Amino acid sequence: MTGASGVPPHGPPKVVRVLGLDPGTRHFGWGIVDRIGTRLRHVAHGIVSPKDTLPLGERLVIIEEGLVAVVEEHGPTGASIESLFFAKDASAAAKLGHARGVGLLVVSRAGLECGEYPPARVKRTVAGGGKADKNQVAQMVRVILGLTEPPKADAADALAVAITHLQQMPLLAQIVKNNVSLRRVSAKR
């Protein structure tokens, strides 16, 4: 039902724009997804890929500059990032931690709240199983967002993180509304 102006009587649906981040020092994926009412809409996605030959510090600067440009261009209202998982290679895990820190710094400086989700939860949300491979995630992101082709793996993962955050937001809002402790909820799992 719409009013005389063609707008629903309760106003236009609220748009929530989330930046999803898939950290990496060689390929740092990002994706922007809007939620308009209950619909999800793809806005943009990409990968910041510094040259492998650059020292780690220089790669992190390039990642930071790329993410700042994305935030400035697309104006997200929130952000989400994959949480760290235990890797067999301590050096790779440390580098991933550095890249993740850059992502958290950029969104914090932009004043955005940032949700953090383990890779298995992201996979469960978009592909139905926590052990889905990168191709399955990319294909499901394509279907969910109505894309003509699946995005490259790092961008698909970032879009999947944004989708996960947008799917979790109504639940989190209800928890806050009901004044339920998040620690109590997570302790029961």
Residue in 34, 52, 73, 82 annotated catalytic: 82
List CB contacts of 107: < 8 A, sequence separation 6 or more: 19, 21, 71, 79, 81, 114
Chain centroid, CA 112 distance in Å: 12
The question of whether 34 is a catalytic residue gets the answer no
Residue in 34, 64, 154, 157 annotated catalytic: 154
Cα separation, 134 vs 116, in Å, equals: 19
The question of whether 22 is a catalytic residue gets the answer yes
Q: Interior CA angle at 100 toward 61 and 118, to 5°?
A: 160
The question of whether 52 is a catalytic residue gets the answer no
Residue in 22, 34, 64, 157 annotated catalytic: 22
Cα separation, 99 vs 79, in Å, equals: 15
Are 84 and 96 in contact by the 8 Å Cβ rule? The answer is: yes
List CB contacts of 156: < 8 A, sequence separation 6 or more: 29, 31, 45, 134, 137, 138, 141, 142, 150
Residues with a known catalytic role: 22, 82, 154
